[in-house]
Amino acid sequence: MGLQQLALGFGPGQASVVVSSRRSAVGDWGNFSTRPQQQQRAWRRRTGDSRVGQCRCLAGGPGVGAAAGVVEIVEKLNALVLGVGVGLPCQVMDCGDVVYRSTLPKQGLIITAPGVFLAVLIATYLWAQPGVAPGFWDMFVLAKLERIIRPSYKKEDFALGKKLGEGAFGTVYKASLVKNKGGKSESELVVKKANEYGAVEVWMNERVRRACSSSCADFIHGFRETLNKGKGEEFWLVWRYEGDATLDDLMKDKNFPYNVEEMIYGDVNELPKGPERENRIIRTMMRQIMSSLKNLHAIGIIHRDIKPQNIIFSQEAKTFKIIDLGAAADLRVGINYVPKEFLLDPRYAAPEQYIMSTQTPSAPPPPVAAALSPVLWQMNVPDRFDVYSAGLIFLQMVFPNLRTDSPLIQFNRQLKRCDYDLVAWRELTEPRGNADIRRGFEILDLDEGVGWELLQAMVRFKGRQRISAQQALDHPYFIRDGLLGTTLLQKLRLQLIRASFQDRGEAFAWVQNLMAKSGTKSVGGFTEAELQKMKEKEPKPKDTLQRNALASALRLQRKVARTVAETVVEPANKRNWWNRWESKES
Ligand SMILES: Nc1ncnc2c1ncn2[C@@H]1O[C@H](COP(=O)(O)OP(=O)(O)OP(=O)(O)O)[C@@H](O)[C@H]1O
């Protein structure tokens, strides 16, 4: 409504009406201006005529000279600024021409309900995940400031030491600074010499450093080096050395999770070894991992390679941090997002394989990607990909037999055969499981099974049915004292989470179970026979209204995907706009 009103206010039709009405009033105003202010006010009170003032402001002052034209344009711009979503220009601007304005009542910015609604709607969209507005601030202000403030390095500043690892994207070394530049002593460093994907990793690490530095290894600097004899170029990425152990190293220890206890709490618990104590340690580790994931997702970054090898224990922060952002995708602006690209580690990848629907085309140009990112995010919920991987890590922490590769691969096959139904997998595994398996289920079943609940919500076939990292952190599993220490309100919340993440079939079974439990002689409720009858009833086909809504949603999704595809104009030279080294040279 507000926008429509604005359009009307400045439309040509409106302008001509305004000019003619002004002419009729010019005479009055001409004489009027020579009168004392007191008389002017009295006259205005008597006539109650605000129309004259309005007309003047839209049509310009007396005379149709160039200056008046300029004043008119300025006034219109002013009105536009004041009037965004707030109402008619004449309602929101100071009326009357320059000479008489001071005598008119001051109006200022008038806030109207539709205006507020529109403003809230726009702000909600701009701040919705993955955050278009914070993204612009980060990219155009913070990134530039950071580049000025932070010290920069070159190859000669580092002395490379022991090789720490070698992967598809490069080689990682322990290193030290030849000459310290920063204020803080950076004695132990890690340097990754990476191939062309290094540019993406620099981008992701810089984003993370600005927005949520505690979630990932502390990134110091990234730069490009040209290799000798025309051998091309490589990217150097430098981090602070966080520690010797990844989660994978720690999990391979027979004493896991007790070997982590002192590292994260600073002391050893006096409780005897057993499920409760293990549960406490695992819960703390999972909370740290899920918090880091939540922070990454909040800024639109999907890691895509969450696994114990990429989670490192920071000795300084006494917490687990995420490393290796080489495969990550920034969905705010579509960097490194290629829907059909297959970069995944099959041991930890979610069944959907892709973070976005394969019907969603490759990333459009950044402004389009940024503008559409909240819509695409809601449509694809790409963050759930990482949540699935984290769910598998949770399983590995709980079940010692899944901590090595081949049993994990076997588990994945079993789960697939069970249609990704963890309950079916449990029914298959538990009866013939060894002591380790039984112990694992015992841990998950503690506190009325909140751990088992959370695991089921994380490891689901459909991304949309999976819990998000933020929701997982709100799950009662992470409430410090377990469910026994929770309030009635928290217990209710658990029921709500259960209901919202359960399939209809499961929810139905759950309600039935509840009803059966209450169906005693004293309490009443349904009898077993009645429940059996309900069970046997054929499931009702989805009613047409529901079907139509679903079909419309799908149609809309495809339409948006098509529109994006049509908007994509591939840059002729395929340059990466975000790669500052590239743009500098070309
Ligand atoms: N900040 C750090 N502090 C301490 N060690 C680190 C740090 N970053 C990386 N490492 C070590 O280097 C190893 C390799 O790092 P990273 O996973 O980033 O490299 P990569 O080349 O991508 O390897 P891959 O392809 O196998 O994942 C890690 O497993 C870890 O042991």
CATH number, domain with residue 336: 1.10.510.10
The token pair at 405 is 């590769």
Range of the domain at 257: 242-494
Q: Look at residue 59 in the predicted model and tell me its pLDDT.
A: 40
| CA 246 to ligand 1: nearest atom | 31
Residue 263 inside a domain? The answer is yes
CA-closest residue to ligand 1 atom 24: 167
Q: How big is the chain, counted in residues? A: 586
Q: Look at residue 289 in the predicted model and tell me its pLDDT.
A: 97
CA-closest residue to ligand 1 atom 27: 167
Q: What is the pLDDT of residues 289-298, one digit of tens each?
A: 999 999 999 9
How many Å apart are CA 171 and CA 193, to the nearest integer?
5
Report which secondary-structure segment, H or E, holds 319. strand 319-322
Pocket test for ligand 1, best of 164, 174, 315 (most atoms within 8 A of CB): 164
Q: Look at residue 175 in the predicted model and tell me its pLDDT.
A: 93
Residue 222: is it exposed, middle or buried by C-beta count within 10 angstroms (0-12/13-18/19+)?
A: buried
CA of 389 to the centre of ligand 1 (A): 18
CA-closest residue to ligand 1 atom 21: 167
CA of 315 to the centre of ligand 1 (A): 15
How many Å apart are CA 328 and CA 351, to the nearest integer?
18
Regarding an ipTM greater than 0.90, the answer is yes
How many Å apart are CA 205 and CA 14, to the nearest integer?
54
How many Å apart are CA 139 and CA 126, to the nearest integer?
15
Nearest to 239 by CA among 220, 213, 225, 223: 220
For residue 203, CA distances in Å to 126, 209, 252, 385 come to: 22, 10, 32, 21
- The dihedral formed by the CA atoms of 503, 504, 505 and 510, expressed in degrees to the nearest 10: 90
Q: Look at residue 490 in the predicted model and tell me its pLDDT.
A: 67
For residue 389, CA distances in Å to 305, 468, 531 come to: 8, 12, 38
| CA 241 to ligand 1: nearest atom | 3
Residue 109 inside a domain? The answer is no
CA of 205 to the centre of ligand 1 (A): 14
Residue 529 inside a domain? The answer is no
Q: Is 305 a catalytic residue?
A: yes
Q: Where are the beta strands (DSSP E) in 298-383?
A: 301-302, 311-314, 319-322, 329-330
Helical ranges in 430-468 per DSSP H: 435-458
**What is the value of pTM for the model shown?**
0.70
The token pair at 379 is 């449509």
CA of 458 to the centre of ligand 1 (A): 26
The token pair at 277 is 């104590």
Residue 544 inside a domain? The answer is no
Pocket test for ligand 1, best of 324, 325, 336, 405 (most atoms within 8 A of CB): 324
CA-closest residue to ligand 1 atom 26: 167
Q: Does 535 show up as a binding residue in the annotation?
A: no
Nearest to 474 by CA among 448, 449, 492: 492
The token pair at 569 is 């104009």
| CA 168 to ligand 1: nearest atom | 25
Q: Look at residue 550 in the predicted model and tell me its pLDDT.
A: 73
| CA 309 to ligand 1: nearest atom | 29
| CA 167 to ligand 1: nearest atom | 25
Nearest to 498 by CA among 445, 444, 447, 454: 454
CA of 217 to the centre of ligand 1 (A): 10
CA of 472 to the centre of ligand 1 (A): 27
Pocket test for ligand 1, best of 246, 312, 315, 348 (most atoms within 8 A of CB): 312
CA-closest residue to ligand 1 atom 16: 324
Specify the DSSP class assigned to residue 359.
Answer: T
Contact by Cβ (8 Å): 215, 322 = yes
How many Å apart are CA 345 and CA 310, to the nearest integer?
12
Q: Look at residue 356 in the predicted model and tell me its pLDDT.
A: 63
Which residue ranges in the chain fall short of pLDDT 70?
Answer: 1-71, 74, 76-107, 180-186, 337-343, 354-366, 480-487, 490-491, 493-494, 497-544, 557-586
Angle at 402 between CA 479 and CA 258, to 5 degrees: 50
Of 157, 305, 330, 386, catalytic:
305
| CA 218 to ligand 1: nearest atom | 1
Residue type, 398: V
Residue 475 inside a domain? The answer is yes
How many Å apart are CA 497 and CA 474, to the nearest integer?
9
CA of 313 to the centre of ligand 1 (A): 12
Q: Which residues lie with the beta carbon below 6 Å from any ligand 1 atom?
A: 164-165, 167-170, 172, 190, 192, 217, 239, 241-243, 246, 309-310, 312, 323-324, 326
Residue type, 499: A
CA of 468 to the centre of ligand 1 (A): 26
Residue 142 inside a domain? The answer is no
Residue 444 inside a domain? The answer is yes
CA-closest residue to ligand 1 atom 29: 309
For residue 209, CA distances in Å to 152, 204, 221, 330 come to: 15, 9, 10, 14
Q: What total number of domains does the chain contain? A: 1
CA-closest residue to ligand 1 atom 17: 324
How many Å apart are CA 301 and CA 322, to the nearest integer?
12
Residue 464 inside a domain? The answer is yes
Q: Look at residue 551 in the predicted model and tell me its pLDDT.
A: 75
